[in-house]
Structure 1
Amino acid sequence: MELLGGVTVVLLVCIACLLSFAAWKGRSGKGKMPPGPAPLPILGSLLQVKPSNLAKTLHKLSEEYGPVFTVHMGTEPVVVLHGHDVVKEALVDRADEFASRGHMPIGDRANNGLGIIFSNNEPWLHVRRFSLTALRNFGMGKRSIEERIQEESDYLMEEINKTKGTPFDPTFMLSCSVSNVICSIVFGKRYDYKDKKFLALMNNMNNIFEMMNSRWGQEKDRPNSSFHMKNLITSTFDLFIAGTETTSTTVRYGLLLLLKYPKIQEKIQEEIDKVVGRSRKPCVADRTQMPYTDAVVHEIQRFISLIPLALPHTVTKDTSFRDYVIPKGTTIYPVLSSVLHDNKEFPNPHEFNPEHFLHKNGTFKKSDFFMPFSAGKRICPGEGLARMEIFLLIATILQNFTLKSVVKPQELNINPTLSGTGNVPPAYQLCAVPR
């Protein structure tokens, strides 16, 4: 009886696989869904797609199936866009068709479809426009924001000075510094790095609603409006998450790369001494006169590919794309790392090399393949702020300190500890020696 039962189970599994394969075969091909590996029942493409390193496994699949292909996350089909041309075509050239945010369980649970990151349709348009307007009113793109960053960099330099050249992990300091810039914009004040409220904010971003000014909810009596308290709280929460972790992690990863390549650090310091000197703070206007530093900042963002996959998109109607038809509601994964690591645009893309953004005469070289903030209508609304912060923080740190590794540079590990939805640098310590 046991043998008979085992045979029955095997037969049922085989039948399920055959039915799944037949259904997949009928849905894919020209004029249908893009091709891809045959999914297993329930598991989908789990054997081919490794969650711990999505970008790498999707790259391998693109070599077999081309720049547009389908994988199954469980039972859900997901269309993957791999390479500059298809990512640009979808997110930029056909932005209206691909602008909607795709299904993401963490967004559904945490934000319930509210805020900027996970919302869609008119509520998303209203809140995004409001957020951009509010940020501009607070000084985004103006000198006042630059002054806030410069002021916070002074406090960061004080904290680094306290280490007196001994080894330390820069994670907490950088997070506090970057988060304080957002605090100064949203709340009109910064916090001491040991302030209990600030520490609570750092540890639990949900505490922000306690500090919200009541005027944010003045349209509260309009039930169909996007401007109700919960949505505004969620939007501000999005600004903190997007404006703190991504920027501080980029700077932290950048400092690790400068420890690994001390000659690059030396060249930046030579440029700082020549253009800025030691008597004043670096400013955004210096960037055009500092092509090497600007190239290094771009190369840091390109090399680390912090968010290898852009947050998922979706199509709101059946959409013809290339030789295929993508059904309404299908999740779309644009692979940003496939653009940032394109080997035709960036020779030896997995090597850290500022020359990727420099002409032979030493001037800065722009690239349409530079998409760390995504592209199109869903491009990060805080891109301008983040780029200012990354440049100013790195320039100010290197103006004041020489960074030394606690181990030999060649022994430093620069591989990310997480290569799924985000690339996080391994933990490390450094010594900051005053110049």
Structure 2
Amino acid sequence: MLQVATIEKEFDRCVKGLNKRGLDNAESLLKNILELDENRKKLQGQLDEILHESNKLAKEIGQLFQQGKKEEAEAAKAKTTELKQNSKTLGEELSATEAELKKELYNIPNIPHESVPPGKSDEDNEIIKIQDENIPDLGDNKKPHWELIEEFDIIDFELGNKVSGAGFPFYKKQGARLVRGMVNYFLDKATKAGYEEVQPPVVINEASGYGTGQLPDKEGQMYHMEANDLYLIPTAEVPITNMYRDVILKADQLPIKHSGHTPCFRREAGSWGSHVRGLNRLHQFDKVEIVQVTDPTKSYEVLDQMVAHVEDLIKSLGLPYRILRLCAGDLGFTSVITYDFEVYSAAQEKWLEVSSVSNFETYQANRLKLRVKNSEGKKVLAHTLNGSALALPRIIAAVLENNQAGDHIKLPEVLHPYLGFKEIRKS
């Protein structure tokens, strides 16, 4: 979340950035936050004065009794009782004000980076690079992946619907091995790039959801287990980043780099159509995530490195791709800047999003109380970043569609050592 000090010192920039996101009432919201904080400081000051006076009286009471001044001591005791009641009332008011302040801060999104283009939807995103020379010409017999997976019997949506529901497919035979091979390949590439692999839990508590910003913003998109008050993760970013909640790091520990593979769960709603058909939108899918915690002065250098890492992965699979800088209106709630990667599906004749790489600056760290002690011994908020490297379903869709060759599907050469086969054939 935003720091109150940042809102106060950079009020105009914050208002301008939130207006850029489409938050028309940003000025009034931020003014309300500053008023709440001013009231919080006032109440805290009054409470501190009362506690100071109470402590002072407590010492005096003993002295008065020793001096035989019983009447004055009893009066001081009565005053102490009054002060305790006042401190209780002030404490309750202070707690309520702090809770209201936190609630308001939780509902304010991050301030976009100055390079983020204006815009209201994904139609306004800025294409910064396109690599489409290797789009295959599939001719008139091209098939979308939802036909290919039935023909080659590698993914079963009907079985998934029977066992779980729509959006929970069964991967089987060479399809299951393709998922496992891709995951291992992506993890190995991350390890070679210096990321330390972790296998995190796939459920989180409420504090973790608030820590990385999924709560309260995406509460309706997450699967919630009410009996345990736990949530299924929408991405490995959440448990991995929360490893460092309430942690103070040393400067020489940075950057912290983690990779992790998990299933991801999202209650995404969507109308029926090709854009949500087959693997294009699922409620459960596998993804390899990369996460970094960095020095605030180096996070944009790190962002460039993470973008390059994802680009290298997609290149190695031989897929046409493009990189987009998201406009303010399409930017995630917690992000300062996000680059999306899309691969081209030659059968569907459209671009499919397969990765987002984002810098959150101090927004998550402020919620997490994740700080770093710099070389001067001062504790400052760290910067956090994450990226999909990669999400499998649409990558698999593009690989299947772009490499179909009639009676078989050719597979990218880099995957061959991980699969034990070079192509998918009908069993």
Q: Same fold (TM over 0.5)?
A: no
Q: When you count helix as a share of all residues, which structure comes out higher? A: 1
Which structure exhibits the higher relative contact order, with contacts defined as CA atoms closer than 8 Å and separated by 6 or more residues?
Answer: 1
The two structures have a TM-score, normalised by structure 1, of: 0.21
Q: When you count strand as a share of all residues, which structure comes out higher? A: 2
The two structures have a TM-score, normalised by structure 2, of: 0.22
